[in-house]
A and B are shown apart, each in its own frame.
Chain A
Amino acid sequence: LHCCPLGLLALLLLTLGFSRGLQPGPRDDYEESAETERVFAASKYGSLWPLPQKVKISDVSFKLTGVTFRITDAKGSSSGASCSLLQNAYRRYYEYIFGGSRVQHGAEGRRAGPSVLTELQVLIVSADSECERFPAVTSDESYELTVDQPYAVLKAPKVWGALRGLETFSQLVYEDEYGAKSINSTTISDFPRFAHRGILLDTSRHFLPIKVILANLEAMAMNKFNVFHWHIVDDQSFPYMSRTFPHISQQGAYHPYTHVYTPADVKMVIEFGRLRGIRVVPEFDTPGHTQSWGKGQKDLLTPCYSGDKPSGSFGPVNPILNTTYDFMSKFFKEISGVFPDAYVHLGGDEVDFNCWKSNPDIQKFMEQQGFGQDFSKLESFYIQKLLDIVATTQKGYMIWQEVFDNGVKLKPDTVVHVWIGGGANEEMGKVTAAGYTTILSAPWYLDYISYAQDWQKYYKVEPLNFKGTEAQKKLVIGGEACLWGEYVDATNLTPRLWPRASAVGERLWSAVDVTDINDAFSRLSVHRCRMVERGIPAEPLFSSYCPREYKGI
C-alpha cells in the first residue's frame, strides 16, 4: 500500500467556495460560489507550520507506535539526562504525537518491523548546549532533521534548535486511514528568517489567569514564536506584585489577591517560557499609561490643574521630581532581577501633554529648562533619565516608536518598536537609517477583528517592504503580533489569537518567498486542527471540520 503522506489532510474535506449561507447585504459572487464542491488540494508539505527553510519529503513512509517509539539523546550529544529542558520536551512531544492512544493492544509483543520508526535521536553538537540558560535574541534556533531508518536524527547546535526541530518532527507525523501514526522519510534543514518573533498580551485591561498565559506559551511554541512581550501593567490595573513596592498592586490591581501576579507566578511564566525557548520581555510603560501606578505610589503622577487649583485627577508620571527617579531606580532594579531577559520594554507611547500643560510647577520647570512650549522635549527629558537608569541595570531596552520620533538619544542597541499603522514602511526606513534595530507590529494588531479570513491579510505582510539598503534591512530583527486587552480576556483570548497569529508566525520564520496563500490555507487548516487536538481552542478558518473537535465548552 502506497501510503499517502498527507493522510491527515485526506481526512479533511476542506470545502472552499460553498455558497455562503445567509449573509445580509449584496448577494455577491453567485457564479463564483456555484454549488460545485472544490476539494481543497492538500499541500505537498503536509501540515508543516511555519514552513521550514528546506524540506524534502519522500514517498517512503514508516509507522510509529507509542509502545516502541522513543525520543532519546544521541551518543555524543552535549546534552544528556541532566538537561531537564530537553527531557521535558521529549515527554511533551511524545504526548502530542501519541495523545491518548499510548496503550495499544497487541503491540506489546510485536517486534519492530523494518517499516517501523522506533527512535528519534537528538544530537546537540555545540559543546555548550545552553540547556541551563535563558533564550536570547542571539540564540541559535537552527536544526537539521533527518527521518529515515534505522532512526531519525535531529541535529542542532543548541537546545533551542532542538525544541524547534521537535515541533517540526511532531508536525510530520500523521494518521493513515487505519489511524496508525505514520511519518515519511524526510530531510529538513531549518532556521528562522527573523530572530524576534513575538506575541504581546495585555494583562492590564483585563487580568489573564496564569493558566491562560501558559496555554498561550504552549501555542506559541507550536508556531515557533520565541518572545512573550508581557504588557503587564497599564492605566487600568497594575497586577504585577512588586517586592519593593507591594502597595502598588495592593491599590492598583483590580483585586489585591485574585487579580495579581505574585513573584512565584512570574517565575513560573518565565520558566515555562524558557522550557519552550520563549523569552519573556516585560513592558513597564511610562510616562503615560500609568494611572494604576499612582493609586499606590503617592506623588509619582503629575497632579492636573483646572485653573489654579489641582483638579484631583492625575496625568503622566511627574518628570520634574527627584523622587520620581529614585522610585524608578529602585523599581527597575527589581525588574532587572526578576526578569532574566536582556531586554526590558519601556513603552513611551501615547503621552498626553494636557495635564503637564495645566500644572504650574511643570510650566515653571519647562521655562527653567528652556523647553518653551514643546512638551515632547519634556518627555524626552524624562525618557533620557529613565534610559540612563535602566542602562545601569545592565539591560537593553525596547521602546515604542514615539520615543525615537521625538529625538530622544538612544543607546545604539535600542530596539525601536514600530506600531503606528499607516506610514509604517516609512518609519521602518527612518529608524533603520538612523542605525537602530527595529521590530514591526503595525500590521499585526490582532485585537482588531473583521469578518472572514483576516489571517490572509496578516500573512501577506512583507516586513522588509520598505525603501532602504541591505544593511538597513538587516536591522529588522522581527515582529510581534499584538493582542491588546480592551475587549479580550480569558473567555475569548485564545480563539481570537489562534490561528490568526499563526499567519504572523510563518511570515517571521519562513523564507521570504513562502507566499502561496492556497498552500498556506491547506497547511494552516490542518495545523489549526492540531492545535485544537492539543487543547488550544484555535478558531476555524472556514466551513470544514476537524477529525477531533474541541472538547471544551
Chain B
Amino acid sequence: MEAARCVTFGQYLRPHFYLLLLIFLRNGPHTVEGVWPLPQTFTSSIERSPLSPEAFYFEYGSQSAAQQGCSVLDAAFTRYFPLIFPDYTGNGVLRFYADKPFRLVITVDRDDCESYPNEDSSERYNLSVSARQASLNAETVWGALRGLETFSQLVYQDDFGSYFVNKTEIVDFPRFQFRGILLDTSRHYLPVKTILQTLDAMAYSKFNVFHWHIVDDPSFPYQSRTYPDLSSKGAFHPMTHIYTQSDVRRVISHARLWGIRVLPEFDSPGHTASWGKGQSDLLTPCYRGSSLSGTFGPVNPVLPSTYQFMARLFKEVSSVFPDSHIHLGGDEVNFSCWSSNPDIRAFMKKMGFGVDFTKLEAFYMENIVNITSALNKTAIVWQDVFDYHELRSSLSVVEVWKGGCYLCEVRRVAKAGLRVILASPWYLDQPGPTHNWARFYTVWPLAFKGTEEQKKLVIGGEVCMWGEYVDATNLTPRLWPRASAAAERLWSDEKQTSSADKAFPRFQDLRCKLVRRGIRAEPLYVGHCKHEYQGV
C-alpha cells in the first residue's frame, strides 16, 4: 500500500515524493506502538493505508441490526472522528483522496442502541483493516464501541502529520466482564465535569463499570428526591457541592454512550455520619456510661423506622440508577458505639446474639439485601459482610478489598459459590512513585487453588481511588495511566501480557495518547510526548 500511496502523492506533489521516500527509507515503516489493552488475537502487517479526514466514513453495514439513528453508535462516530484525526480542524483544502475514501463499516447483530450495558453484555468484536476499508463486527453496540476504540488506537501519524493505519486483523473480547473504577465523591466533591472526563478516559482503556462511591462519612452530595435533607444538611455545601437528579442522569447517560455501567454505592451501616445530619434517629446514639455522649455511630439496626427509611431511599435509588446491581457497602463497621447503647444491647439479648456484634451487622445487612432484592437489584457488598455472615445464601457478589492474602479471600468467596470482584491490589489512592505501575500490572487474579467453576465466579476487578487526598486538582494524574495497567490485566490474555517490561513501550505510547486526548495522564519515566499537556 505504500507504493500506491506514493503514486497518489506523485501525481500532485512531485518534489514531495522524493522527500517522503527519503524519510521512508531512513526510518522504515512506522511500527505501530499498539493497542492498550492488548487485544486477544492481533495480527498486523507493515502494509499501510493512508487515511484522510476529508475522505473517511463510518458506515453501518447492510446486514447490521443497528442503522443510522442508533444513538450509541451515531454519538460514537462523532466522538471518535476527532480522536482518530486529532489535527483535523475542518478547514482542510487539499482533497487528494476524495475519490478514494476509506470506509469503516460497522455491523452489529443486535439493535440494543437504546438499552443500557449490563453484566451480560457481550463486548466481543472483530476488526479487519485492509486497503481503504475496515470492517468492524460485533454482537452488540457495546462490542462495536470497544472495536472503535481499538481502531482509533491503530491510526498513527507520520512526521508530516499524515494519517495511516496498518493492515490488521483482530479478534477481541474481555477476559473479565466486570472492569471497574471506583471514585469517591464524599471525602472530596468531584465536579460533574471531572467525572465525565474520567468516564472518557475509562473508555480509552475499555473499563466498563463506574462504581460511584457517592456518599460516606464526610459528606452526602447525592440530592435525594425523597429525602432532600440528606444533602441539604449532609453535603459540604447544599447548593454547590451536590449532585442533582439531572447531574446523576447526565453521568448515567454519558456513561451509557461509552458502554459504561454506573454502579451506585450507598454504604451502610458504617460510613454514614453525613446521613445523620439530615435524617434524625437514623444513626445509633452512642453512650458514655449511662448517658448519651452526643455522638453517633453506625445506622441504628434495632429501629423499624430505619428499615422504612432504607426501603424508601433504595426504592428511589433503584429507579434513578438503571443498573441491575447496587453496591450496599457494609465495610468497617465500628461496634463500640453499638455496644455502648443499652437499647442495642437489649435487642442483642432478645435476638440471642450474645455479645457478637458481627451477628447484629449480618442481621442488618440481611434486611437491606432483602429490601434491594425486592426491588430486583442484585447486591454487591464489601468482603466484611461475607466474613461476618454465617448464612450466605442471601449474598450474591462480594468485593474483596483487604490487603494481605487477598487471593485466599477470593478463594473462600468462590468456594462459597458467590461471585467475586477483586479490588485489593488496585488501591490507586496510595500514590507511590509512578514506576510502580508494574505493581498494578503484575497481578494474577486467578492464581488460587480452585476448580474451573470457582474461577469463573471471579467476574472481574476494580481500581479504587479513595478520596481522602484526592480531588479535582490531582485526581486525573493520580488515576491515569496507572489505572490502565489494571485495565489490561482485566481485559487481555494473561499469557500474552505477563511481562511489565515488554508492555512498557506500549504503555508509554498509551500515556502520550491519553495526553493528546486531553487527559492529564502522568509520565511513567523520563522522556517526552510529541504533544505535551498544555494546561497548568
Contact = CB atoms under 8 A, between A and B. Distances in A.
A412 to B, nearest CB: 37
Contact of A552 (B217, B241, B525, B535): B535
A215 B536 CA distance: 7
B535 A34 contact: no
B522 A491 contact: yes
B472 interface: yes
Interface in B392-417: 401-404
B139 to A, nearest CB: 34
Contacts of A254: 527-528
Interface string B186-203: 011101011001000000
B236 interface: yes
A540 B189 CA distance: 11
Contacts of B241: 545, 549
A495 B188 CA distance: 15
A549 B337 contact: no
Interface residues of A, number: 67
B471 A18 contact: no
Interface string B208-237: 000000001111000000000000000011
Contacts of B536: 211-212, 215, 490, 494, 535-537, 552
Given A35-B295, A35-B297, A25 B471 contact: no
Given A35-B295, A536-B536, A21 B273 contact: no
Most chain A Cβ neighbours within 10 Å, of B435, B471, B521: B471
Contact of A549 (B191, B401, B433, B521): B191
A486 B434 CA distance: 9
Contacts of B47: none
Interface stretch (B348-356, B473-481, B487-495): B473-481
A491 B534 contact: no
Interface residues of B, number: 71
Interface in A516-541: 532, 535-541
A178 interface: no
A37 B184 CA distance: 19
Nearest to A22: B401
Contact of B528 (A23, A31, A255): A255
Contact of A540 (B191, B197, B473, B522): B473
Contact of A451 (B382, B431, B521, B528): B431
B332 A22 contact: yes
A32 to B, nearest CB: 11
B526 interface: yes
A449 B431 contact: yes
B236 A545 contact: yes
Interface string B419-438: 00000100100111111000
B162 interface: no
Interface string B506-521: 0000000001001011
Contacts of B270: 19, 35
Nearest to A545: B236
B219 A485 contact: no
Contacts, number: 199
Given A20-B468, A494-B536, A549-B472, A34 B240 contact: no
Contacts of B469: 451-453, 539-542
Interface in B251-302: 270-271, 273, 295-298
A238 B145 CA distance: 42
Contact of B273 (A35, A209, A211, A544): A35
Given A37-B273, A550-B471, A205 B526 contact: yes
B474 A537 contact: yes
A237 B216 contact: no
Contacts of A544: 188, 218, 236
Contacts of A540: 188, 469-471, 473-474
B513 to A, nearest CB: 13
Contacts of B236: 13, 544-545
B525 A21 contact: no
Interface string B446-471: 00000000000000000010111111
Contacts of A118: none
B194 A35 contact: no
A206 B523 contact: yes
Contacts of B526: 205-206, 236, 485-486
A244 B237 CA distance: 58
Contacts of A37: 273, 295
A27 B535 contact: no
B466 A22 contact: yes
A19 B216 CA distance: 10
Contacts of B41: none
A488 interface: yes
B476 A22 contact: no
B387 interface: no
Contact of A36 (B295, B402, B430): B295
Given A19-B270, A492-B520, A34 B295 contact: yes
A206 B521 CA distance: 14
B472 to A, nearest CB: 4
B477 A491 contact: yes
A549 to B, nearest CB: 6
12 contacts: A19-B270, A21-B187, A22-B332, A23-B427, A24-B427, A34-B295, A451-B469, A487-B435, A491-B523, A532-B473, A535-B536, A549-B471
Given A18-B273, A22-B427, A258-B532, 8 more contacts: A22-B464, A23-B427, A206-B526, A206-B528, A452-B468, A540-B188, A551-B472, A553-B194
Interface of B: 184, 187-189, 191, 193-194, 197, 216-219, 236-237, 240-241, 270-271, 273, 295-298, 331-332, 334, 336-337, 382, 401-404, 424, 427, 430-435, 464, 466-474, 476-478, 515, 518, 520-528, 530, 532-536
The 4 closest A-B pairs by CB, nearest first: A24-B403, A492-B477, A495-B474, A537-B473
Interface of A: 13, 15, 18-25, 27, 30-31, 34-37, 205-207, 209, 211-212, 215, 236-237, 254-255, 258-259, 448-453, 485-492, 494-496, 532, 535-553
